[in-house]
Amino acid sequence: MSAQECIFCKIASGQIPAVKIYEDEIVVAFLDIGPISDGHTLVLPRQHFEKVHNCPPELLGQIWTRLGKIANAVALATGADGYNVLCNNGRAAGQIVDHLHFHIVPRKAGDGVFAKWPSYKYGQGRAEAIAEKIIKFL
């Protein structure tokens, strides 16, 4: 998806409407059109990058500088007991819109959102073997 065809670029530039809650020269934040809880918000850089690893670290820092303040406001306004900050990268991870964005999902105790969290235990030596492979790519 090119930046020209990107729905989030169009929202950021005002070509397509969205219920915005915050914007400045770096980021735009607006309510998700298909929320999984009231106040579900998306925060994205104005500049088009597909995934976290495509985004320059300085810009990631600028996004995260704003994320805490926005997340706190979302949580306070919705009376949330907590919130998740999520970033889906790639189709397998559930990324539908190829413009880097962070979900802020306000949570209530016992709301059942993300009830399925398929946790398991590593077998003997497996965590160390995986870590060794990852470290080679860093």
In sequence order, what are the beta bridge partners of 29?
22, 43
- Give the residue, chosen from 47, 97, 108, 111, that forms a contact with ligand 5GP under the rule CB under 6 A: 97
- Give the residue, chosen from 40, 48, 101, 103, that forms a contact with Zn ion under the rule CB under 5 A: 48
By CB under 5 A, residue 30 contacts Zn ion: no
| Catalytic status, residue 40 | no
Query: Among residue numbers 87 through 116, which ones bind Zn ion (CB under 5 A)?
Result: 99
Q: Of 58, 79, 52, 62, which is closest to residue 28 (Cα–Cα)?
A: 62
Query: Among residue numbers 21 through 50, which ones bind ligand 5GP (CB under 6 A)?
Result: 30-34, 42
Sheet containing 20-23: give its strands across: 20-23, 27-31, 41-45, 102-107, 82-86
Return residues touching Zn ion (CB under 5 A): 3, 6, 8-9, 48, 99
